[in-house]
Structure 1
């Protein structure tokens, strides 16, 4: 499928909600939401206790904004956002989407199309189905370790166990019970896919490690968090 193809039918676009956890991304969130809403008009950002102007910037770009009074963690933000979107009239598809510009709208489009056309409940993004994403050696080792652990413990066979770009249909959004507030939510979602016997597939995606995300040390800290999740959950 052409990477430039971001067209969705009006009906499918209206039926889809992007759920965006948001914490101190005021520098970039307006651009992220503005670009996403060119394809997906329905975006809910869950401001997870930001100390900057993230909420105001997201709202200025046209997003629905729900605010946590203090930082609860990405898992809690995802659950709040999914609950909000599930209550919107006509909502049938839900995409978890990062706030820092690393996820691509075109990949979300491909994933939602698959949900609408194939007998699937969940489509999970994978950095490892092609060679476009370059996470760095340390992160590759951590992610491969996480994949092996998750495959052995959950029975859900994935190549990328901690990719935040996911597309869910209504059944999956309702069935997946996110109780882990912080990084452990990523493992919990995979466990829930297996528990609920949801139909799943992977989609090759490109994660764009931007100068902005690298400047925050995000890749290194995510690796530390993933290891902590696997060891101490």
Structure 2
């Protein structure tokens, strides 16, 4: 067993009461430090989180995933001994084994941030078609993403060191925050690598998954951010 006491998982949560307790408990079997940011959920997400022993931070109203991630990173980096940070989805799509592999890379290689990718090797047919279209389009629209050699800019599974955590300042509250993180990688010259990861598209996560409207919102946010920083 590895000692992951210097690692903090940051989990943004919005109306995930049906699964968040199981997700948090599974993660905590390997990683003792988990902070869940309840982003103004209207269900029992907060109550479910309290049953797990995970740290709970709450937004009184829904601010969006970007804001929840920023709150969680700020909370985690204030904790004694925190050196490595993970952004981890609340719906059960991310795998602990992938996180362990990414952490081993960041601890042994000359990188600041490791980003998960669905598009390096392997079959992508299991990815819902709208996700494939949106994610491929985001990469095509972003010169930075292509210049950095990234293939999956909107993968929510990321591992980064304290340097990144201290400099991270997400201003896009919605789903466009992922493109903003790519912009920060480029601007701050963070050393970045990609790691192939497995995303589990369960019936539950598919039901809550990326709608066409949200996909359009991602593209709109990305275009605005790219245009303002280019």
* TM-score, scaled relative to structure 1: 0.91
Q: Which runs of 5+ in 1 are unaligned?
A: 1-6
CA distance in 1 between partners of 2:21 and 2:210 (Å): 20
What's 2:54 paired with? 63
What's 2:97 paired with? 106
What's 2:152 paired with? 160
Q: Does 1:192 align with 2:184?
A: yes
Q: 2:206 aligns with which of 172, 194, 214?
A: 214
Report how many aligned residue pairs link the two structures.
224
* TM-score, scaled relative to structure 2: 0.92
Conserved 8 A contact 2:34-2:55: yes
Q: Does 1:32 align with 2:23?
A: yes
CA distance in 2 between partners of 1:217 and 1:177 (Å): 26
Q: Quick one: structure 1 residues 153 and 33, their matched pair in 2 at CA, closer, same or farther if it must change by over 3 Å? A: closer
Conserved 8 A contact 2:36-2:72: yes
Q: 1:74 aligns with which of 53, 65, 68?
A: 65
Query: SS of 1:218's equivalent?
Result: coil
Q: Does 1:143 align with 2:135?
A: yes
Question: Structure 1 residue 128: deviation in Å?
Answer: 0.4
Q: Quick one: structure 1 residues 71 and 167, their matched pair in 2 at CA, closer, same or farther if it must change by over 3 Å? A: same
Q: Quick one: structure 1 residues 52 and 200, their matched pair in 2 at CA, closer, same or farther if it must change by over 3 Å? A: same
Question: Structure 1 residue 220: deviation in Å?
Answer: 4.3
CA distance in 2 between partners of 1:180 and 1:72 (Å): 10
Q: Quick one: structure 1 residues 170 and 46, their matched pair in 2 at CA, closer, same or farther if it must change by over 3 Å? A: same
CA distance in 2 between partners of 1:54 and 1:128 (Å): 32
Q: Structure 1 runs of 4+ off > 6 angstroms?
A: none
Residues 70-122 of structure 1: CA deviation (Å, up to 9, x unaligned): 00110110010000000111000000000000111111111111111111100
Aligned-residue Cα RMSD (Å) equals 1.6
Question: Structure 1 residue 221: deviation in Å?
Answer: 5.0
